[in-house]
Structure 1
Amino acid sequence: MTIDALSEICGPARTPVAWVRPGHVGYVGPDLGVDPHSPSVAMLSVGLDAPLVVHSAQGPIRTGSSFAPARTTQRVVATRGWILALFVDPAGAPATAIADEMTTAAGPFGLTHRRERELVELCNGPLVDPDHIYARAIAGPAPVADPRIERVAAIIRSDPAHTFRAEHIAANLGLSTTHFLRLFTAQCGTTFRGYQRWNRMIHTVRGAVSGHDLTRSALDAGFATPSHFSETFRDMIGLPATKVFRAGIHFDLGTSPAS
């Protein structure tokens, strides 16, 4: 279905929106036709006009909403209309806070969010409020975080271009490298290296959306080459970055640096 056809269903005033906030990155808009992808962070998907079909190693799953842990390969398809795709920074708010809100499961996927109807109403309203959507997606209190890992994650977010070495950080924390890496993954739900890639990608997107050259933004974020950024973006999002930037999406960067 084309965006023009969707506008007949959803109304001509409806504009696709994507946002970048500390702790979450989201998209509300038509299905852009993603390929199978595996984000470094957790992802909540909600069908806003009709159920979704989640294609995974377990086969197709039809559901109103789906939660995929970090590094889970999937392809989410809207059967009709628009979707919410919410990528959750596991260090800013542990993904288990959303996982606990899912009422059923299929393999690694959580299905049917407790506030699915409310999330649909928030996304279909006249004004998309990213922070309100995020707050309702999590709702309950997040699990207690390890302050050591939180500090490390904050340092990575503050300097995404820097290549952090696990052995150096582990030594500073008085831990073995193996124990630190295991602790980071258990706390964040994603790997130490994957978390660095995610933050480099977000830094690049912020730069490009702000009007800077995409190649320069990718290099400034720490990618070795523009093609490395392109491959990372497609692996995590399921689309070429250029397709997303040309899809008529309104980008909301907020006022704070992204995670």
Structure 2
Amino acid sequence: MTIDALSEICGPTRTPVAWVRSGHVGYIGPDLGVDPHSPSVAMLSVGLDAPLVLHTAQGPISTGSSFAPARTTQRIVATQGWILVLFVDPTGAPATAIADEMTAAAGPFGLAHRRERELAELCCAPIVDPDHIYARAIAGAAPVTDPRIEQVAATIRSDPARSYRADHIAANLGLSTTHFLRLFTQQSGTTFRGYQRWNRMIHTVRGAVTGHDLTRSALDAGFATPSHFSETFRDMIGLSATKMLRAGIRFDLGTSPAS
């Protein structure tokens, strides 16, 4: 599927769009009324027509853009118009590169991306290029991640339904289980288990968007029960998968596996 051309001005006449790429998952559209949520990956949000309000445990913050590290609870509200939400795979350290582009901070949150105006213009262009948006969000070169952790992450992405045991992987790497789990979290910014849940969730959404039954897609992705998927999706995204799938969003799945 492809993204429809968008108008030059961000406004209600456009079709909300979402994409899945290797390394990033994005959404451009109206505020969907999400609840507080805590994704297993980092998240960049940009107000396309007006500032956002970032709701945190310490109170609301008005900002043009915000960056939340993985596993950080937040809720973004658009004060007017549309928003960009970009979920960034933590392996390969692109999340760190985005964090370095934020010009202010409030606790764990980064505020005011250096190129937030450019990002907004890219999102409102006649044709949206998800990979260009991602590249401009990162801008500089990302720090190097331990190749062992990158390989483990790539294995999880290639087969998210499989049950991966930390002790087995650690043994294959010649590490203790504790050391491996600490290294994975240190290098990727998220937990070994959380990274598996994220990839299973994306795999489920891909299946549902391509016309498969949502329940079947969740089970095929490795979730023990449909309710486990539903809880995971709501915890990470802040709304139900059913609501998202019925929101009139046009999906672009690209050609490569999801991150």
Match of 1:250 in 2: 250
Match of 1:141 in 2: 141
- Give, in whole Å, the separation in 1 of the partners of 2:32 and 2:11: 18
Hey, which bits of structure 1, 4+ residues long, moved more than 6 A? Answer: none
Match of 1:165 in 2: 165
Match of 2:229 in 1: 229
- Give, in whole Å, the separation in 1 of the partners of 2:244 and 2:36: 16
Question: Deviation at 1:34?
Answer: 0.3
Contact 1:44 1:65 in 2 (8 A): yes
How does 1:186-225 map onto structure 2 within 5 Å? 186-225=186-225
Q: TM-score under structure 2 normalisation?
A: 0.95
Distance 1:62-1:68 versus aligned 2 partners, 3 A rule: same
SS in 1 for 2:94: coil
Contact 1:94 1:187 in 2 (8 A): no
Q: Deviations over 1:144-180 (max 9, x none)?
A: 1110000000000011011111111011101111111
- Give, in whole Å, the separation in 1 of the partners of 2:12 and 2:81: 13
Aligned length: 252
Q: Deviations over 1:183-237 (max 9, x none)?
A: 1001110000000000000000000001111111000000001111011000000
How does 1:98-113 map onto structure 2 within 5 Å? 98-113=98-113
- Give, in whole Å, the separation in 1 of the partners of 2:40 and 2:10: 31
Contact 2:10 2:48 in 1 (8 A): no
Q: Deviations over 1:90-143 (max 9, x none)?
A: 014431010000000000000000111100000011111110100000010000
Match of 2:41 in 1: 41
- Give, in whole Å, the separation in 2 of the partners of 1:28 and 1:12: 12
Contact 1:38 1:236 in 2 (8 A): yes
Match of 2:57 in 1: 57
Q: What 5-or-longer segments of structure 2 have no aligned partner?
A: 1-6
Q: Which structure exhibits the higher relative contact order, with contacts defined as CA atoms closer than 8 Å and separated by 6 or more residues?
A: 2
Contact 1:43 1:70 in 2 (8 A): yes
- Give, in whole Å, the separation in 2 of the partners of 1:75 and 1:206: 24
SS in 1 for 2:219: helix
AA paired with 1:122?
L
Give % identity.
Answer: 88
- Give, in whole Å, the separation in 1 of the partners of 2:12 and 2:41: 33
AA paired with 2:21?
R
Q: TM-score under structure 1 normalisation?
A: 0.95
- Give, in whole Å, the separation in 1 of the partners of 2:230 and 2:171: 33
SS in 2 for 1:95: helix
Distance 1:164-1:184 versus aligned 2 partners, 3 A rule: same
SS in 2 for 1:120: helix
Contact 1:19 1:27 in 2 (8 A): yes
Match of 1:3 in 2: none
